[in-house]
């Protein structure tokens, strides 16, 4: 008690300003955090439980995923050094090569061939109790359908009766089941289907199948396929595929490996070979032209004894050489385009002999698409009749593409003709100027011009040929399958342990956030340290919290349980009142609070009783004439005669005195509820009442209304020698202290102290203090309630 008294004395000696000058700020209030943790522990546990339960549902209803992979090795050797070229560094070269091969495998054109080679268009699913399972290979039947009208993406539910009969429906919850037979075509929603049993037939499980479009299959393969260089030094590529069915992913990886091996052998250098053959043909023609011009120049030199025209002639020749070079290129392109148009019109076009160098860059893909359409058309002719819709559709597509190609070529011809006309006009102007030169010189220069043109063309063709030959020689590749596609036995996910650990972590984080939010939003005053930071008003006592059941049954606790910790706290409060001058003749003590429920009346009656036990005459006045409660502490049922009657001048105060069970303690109730309690307290009758009571009693306790709700309490505080303001732990808000400061400042009230009520027990009681709490709490609070502090 000495430490506590010292603190109270220190508070009483503080300045008159009630607001703290240097308010302490704690980063974390541990007592407040402990309180919030106790109050919200069930919610935190609930959040963690919900997170783990969600993880359980996810694991329970999610199919496991498998992974299959294959490793390929590219055997490459560079022969470019034979031609005198310096090859790139080995690592850089391998990286470029492997990156190109990876893009080739991931290309839509290549994956389209993989999809066409595998039965992926129809997926079969077994309906399970908790989740569905896709079957591949081991299916009881296979589906044939008409591709032009199939209902793509629709689930077809199949109920197998026996090896000959089954029922099918697109709405399993309805009555639209149709009886069918295996091995026979049937019509459903305007399209023909046929189901044929396999060697893996079973009828113990319900199934459904889905027909996928080529576009959706392409997206499925692309999203689950991973192709990446494995080892740059060893030139290896790793192909990985992930899905829920191990047999399906093994088949896909295996087919990719096989097709890539075949494709690399047949198609890798086909384009380069065609270009080299074309260049050889052009080189022969150019060599012949060069030989003719060389013979003419030799004869001209012998005959005319000169090969050095004037500077003007040289400039003219140079310009005309340039014009002729352009015209030659234009004529050459026009000739090639005309030849292609004629062949395209007669349907005799050989796609392997097309010179794409003279065509627009975007026409090569059109010719390749045109070639593919014609190939598909020829294949379709073997399958369908001439008047079938499929063949007609193919013809329309071929004709449309042919028209598109002709439009491209015609536009190119128009551009070339316009350019040719411009060049010819310019050439004619130069030739008119050149004709003024001697005829022999003109003749020689003309021949020299063509000779230079063909010489330049010859060198250009040789350079292109060398480049393509180097490319062909440097990319001779053979693919070895180092690791064939494996059949996965163990899934790669989801990881049950990881999911549960993650869900627990998520639940813990959510609980942490929840507790943090509650901590930030918690506005109640929960500890005496926090109260001391909010105000410099002396805190002269703290009263421990009562159990609710005990508080409801008890009236004056200090009389009924004199050996309890509550009684000792009120004795400490009685002692602390000596510091505020009670012994010096200050007899009128008012007790108030900001709002109802803070324990103002409880403090009043018990403080009055503990003071009365010290042989002092004490009287309590219930000034709360709006919502009186003090009479219930003394078990008074009638409240007709009281303060309101006295202040209105109706009766004398001695007629309203109630003798309590505690010696030296009297009580005057509030009386009948008046319409004007504030006016009654401001009148002369209240001053006269206090004057007469001071002559009869040692201490007068005023149980006032809450000052934060009505003005009656402020009036009572002004007429008191000292005021006690009640703050309830975990109930009173911080803003109440600000309101108190404002009210005290406005009304110039100085003599006031604070009582901290309903403070949580810290389980440090001993001796006879434990006598009261252990006897009551251990019987009234269950173990679970003590655990969660509820």
Name which residue leads in pLDDT, 361 or 734.
734
Q: Which of 544, 632, 578 is nearest to 589 (CA)?
A: 578
- Please state, in angstroms and rounded to a whole number, the distance separating the CA atoms of residues 629 and 650: 23
Residue 117 confidence (pLDDT): 92
Both tokens of residue 333? 């392109």
Instruction: Read off the tokens for 222.
Output: 């692309």
Lowest-pLDDT range of 166-180, 300-314, 450-464, 554-568: 300-314
**Whether residue 115 has pLDDT greater than 90:** yes
Residue, of 492 and 156, whose pLDDT is higher:
156
pLDDT at position 224, please? 93
Q: Where are the beta strands (DSSP E) in 77-223?
A: 122-126, 133-135, 141-145, 155-160, 165-169, 178-181, 185-188, 191-197, 207-211
* Distance set, CA 125 to CA 142, 191, 622 (Å): 12, 21, 81
Give the CATH fold of the 2-22+538-771 domain.
Rossmann fold (3.40.50)
Q: Is pLDDT of 775 > 70?
A: no
pLDDT of 3 higher than 70: no
pLDDT of residue 318: 80
**Residue 754 token pair:** 């604070």
Q: Are 211 and 150 in contact (CB under 8 A)?
A: yes
- Looking at residue 782, what is its pLDDT? 44
Average pLDDT over the chain reads 80
Instruction: Estimate the crossing angle of helix 311-346 against helix 389-434, to 10 degrees.
Output: 160
Lowest-confidence range among 542-556, 563-577, 585-599, 686-700? 542-556
Band (310; pLDDT cuts 50, 70, 90): low
pLDDT tens for 614-644 read 889 999 998 888 888 888 888 877 677 888 8
CB 58 within 8 A of CB 499: yes
pLDDT tens, residue by residue, 65-77? 899 999 998 876 5
Report pLDDT digits (tens) over 495-504: 888 888 999 9
Per-residue pLDDT at 347 exceeds 60: yes
* Distance in angstroms (rounded) separating the CA atoms of residues 473 and 602: 103
pTM: 0.49
Q: How confident is the model at residue 167, as a pLDDT?
A: 92
Res 471: pLDDT: 67
381 vs 327, 378, 387, 396, 658, CA distance in Å? 45, 5, 10, 14, 118
- Name which of 179-183, 269-273, 719-723, 768-772 the model is least confident about: 768-772
Higher pLDDT, 406 or 354: 406
Q: Is residue 554 scored above 70 in pLDDT?
A: no
C-alpha angle 707/713/717, rounded to 5°? 110
Indicate if the pLDDT at residue 477 is higher than 60. no
The predicted pLDDT at position 789 comes to: 45
* pLDDT of 517 over the 60 cut: yes
pLDDT score for 219? 94
Higher pLDDT, 413 or 217: 217
Can you give the pLDDT at residue 19? 61
Average pLDDT on 423-441 reads 71
Query: Minimum mean pLDDT among 87-101, 229-243, 381-395: which range?
Result: 87-101
Domain with CATH 3.40.50.300 in the chain: 2-22+538-771
Residue 267: per-residue pLDDT: 63
784: left (phi over 0), alpha (psi -120 to 50) or beta: alpha
Q: What would the mean pLDDT of 457-476 be, rounded to a whole number?
A: 75
Percent of the chain with pLDDT over 90: 20
Please determine, for residue 104, whether its predicted confidence score (pLDDT) is greater than 80.
yes
Sheet holding 191-197, edge to edge: 141-145, 191-197, 185-188
Q: How far is Cα 8 from Cα 538, in angstroms, rounded to an integer?
A: 6
Question: pLDDT, tens digit, for every residue of 756-765?
Answer: 888 877 554 4
> What is the per-residue pLDDT for 788?
43
pLDDT confidence of residue 433: 60
Q: What is the pLDDT of residue 116?
A: 92
Q: Is the pLDDT of residue 80 over 50?
A: no
Alpha-carbon distance values, 663 to 143, 559, 609, 667, 693 (Å): 101, 10, 8, 12, 17
Q: Is the peptide bond before 494 cis (omega within 30 degrees of 0)?
A: yes
How many percent of the chain have pLDDT more than 70?
82
Pairing verdict, β 722-728 and 752-759: parallel
Would you place residue 301 in the very low, low, confident or very high pLDDT band (cuts 50, 70, 90)? Answer: low
> What pLDDT sits at residue 654?
87
pLDDT of residue 237: 92
* Tokens found for residue 331: 């004529």
Q: What is the pLDDT of residue 312?
A: 55
- pLDDT of 519 strictly over 50: yes
Mean pLDDT of 664-681: 86
Model pLDDT, residue 91: 58
Tokens of 550: 């005990």
Query: Mean of the pLDDT values across residues 672-691?
Result: 85
**pLDDT at residue 7, as a whole number:** 44
Can you tell me the mean pLDDT for 173-188? 88
**What pLDDT shows up at residue 328?**
81
């Amino acid at each position: 008690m000495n430490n506590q008294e010292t603190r109270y004395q220190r508070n009483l000696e503080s300045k008159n300003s009630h607001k703290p000058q240097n308010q302490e700020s704690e980063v974390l209030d541990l007592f407040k955090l402990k309180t919030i943790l106790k109050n919200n522990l069930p919610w935190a546990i609930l959040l963690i439980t919900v997170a783990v339960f969600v993880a359980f549902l996810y694991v329970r209803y999610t199919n496991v995923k498998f992974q299959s992979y294959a490793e390929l090795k590219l055997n490459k050797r560079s022969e470019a050094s034979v031609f005198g070229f310096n090859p790139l560094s080995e690592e850089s070269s391998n990286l470029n090569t492997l990156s190109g091969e990876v893009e080739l495998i991931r290309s839509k054109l290549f994956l389209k061939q993989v999809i066409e080679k595998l039965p992926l268009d129809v997926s079969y699913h077994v309906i399970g109790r908790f989740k569905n399972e896709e079957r591949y290979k081991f299916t009881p039947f296979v589906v044939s359908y008409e591709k032009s009208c199939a209902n793509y993406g629709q689930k077809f539910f199949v109920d197998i009766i026996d090896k000959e009969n089954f029922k099918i429906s697109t709405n399993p919850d309805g009555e639209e089941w149709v009886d069918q037979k295996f091995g026979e075509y049937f019509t459903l929603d305007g399209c023909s289907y046929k189901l044929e049993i396999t060697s893996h037939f079973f009828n113990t499980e319900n199934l459904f199948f889905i027909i996928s479009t080529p576009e959706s299959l392409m997206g499925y393969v692309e999203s689950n396929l991973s192709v990446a260089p494995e080892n740059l030094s060893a030139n290896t590529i790793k192909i990985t595929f992930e899905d829920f069915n191990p047999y399906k992913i093994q088949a896909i990886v295996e087919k990719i490996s096989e097709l890539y091996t075949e494709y690399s052998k047949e198609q890798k250098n086909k384009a380069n070979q065609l270009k080299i053959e074309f260049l050889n043909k052009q080189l022969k023609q150019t060599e012949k032209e060069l030989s003719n011009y060389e013979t003419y120049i030799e004869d001209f030199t012998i005959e005319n004894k000169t090969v050095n025209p004037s500077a003007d002639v040289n400039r003219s020749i140079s310009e005309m050489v340039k014009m002729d070079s352009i015209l030659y290129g234009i004529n050459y392109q026009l000739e090639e385009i005309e030849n292609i148009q004629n062949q395209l019109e007669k349907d005799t076009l050989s796609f392997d002999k097309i010179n794409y160098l003279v065509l627009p860059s975007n026409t090569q893909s059109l010719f390749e698409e045109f070639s593919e359409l014609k190939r598909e058309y020829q294949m379709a002719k073997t399958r369908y009749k001439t008047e079938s819709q499929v063949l007609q559709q193919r013809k329309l597509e071929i004709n449309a593409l042919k028209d598109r190609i002709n439009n491209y070529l015609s536009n190119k011809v128009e551009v070339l003709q316009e350019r040719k006309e411009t060049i010819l006009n310019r050439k004619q102007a130069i030739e008119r100027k050149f004709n003024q030169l001697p005829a022999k010189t003109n003749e020689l220069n003309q021949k020299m011009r063509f000779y230079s043109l063909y010489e330049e063309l010859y060198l250009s063709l040789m350079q292109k040929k060398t480049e393509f030959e180097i490319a062909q020689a440097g990319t001779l590749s053979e693919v070895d399958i180092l690791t064939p596609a494996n059949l996965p036995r163990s899934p790669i996910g989801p990881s049950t342990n990881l999911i549960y650990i993650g869900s627990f972590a998520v639940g813990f984080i959510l609980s942490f956030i929840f507790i943090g939010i509650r901590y930030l939003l918690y506005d109640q005053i929960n500890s005496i340290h926090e109260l001391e930071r909010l105000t410099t008003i002396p805190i002269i006592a703290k009263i421990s919290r009562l159990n609710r059941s005990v508080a409801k049954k008890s009236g004056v606790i200090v009389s009924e349980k004199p050996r309890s910790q509550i009684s000792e706290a009120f004795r400490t409060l009685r002692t602390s009142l000596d510091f505020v001058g009670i012994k010096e003749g200050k007899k009128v003590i008012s007790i108030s609070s900001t709002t109802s429920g803070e324990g103002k009346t409880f403090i009043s009656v018990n403080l009055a009783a503990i003071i009365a036990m010290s042989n002092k005459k004490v009287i309590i006045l219930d000034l709360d004439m709006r919502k009186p409660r003090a009479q219930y502490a003394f078990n008074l049922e009638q409240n007709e005669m009281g303060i309101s009657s006295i202040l209105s001048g109706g009766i004398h105060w001695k007629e309203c005195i109630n003798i309590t069970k505690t010696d030296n303690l009297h009580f005057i109730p509030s009386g009948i509820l008046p319409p004007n309690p504030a006016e009654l307290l401001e009148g002369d009758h209240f001053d006269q009442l206090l004057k007469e009571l001071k002559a009869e009693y040692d201490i007068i306790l005023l149980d006032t209304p809450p000052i934060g709700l009505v003005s009656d309490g402020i009036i009572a505080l002004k007429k008191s020698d000292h005021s006690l303001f009640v703050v309830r732990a975990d109930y009173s808000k911080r803003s109440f202290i600000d309101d108190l400061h404002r009210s005290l400042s406005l009304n110039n009230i100085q003599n006031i102290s604070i009582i901290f009520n309903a403070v949580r027990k810290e389980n440090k009681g001993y001796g006879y203090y434990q006598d009261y709490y252990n006897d009551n709490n251990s019987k009234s609070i269950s173990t679970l309630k003590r655990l969660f502090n509820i």
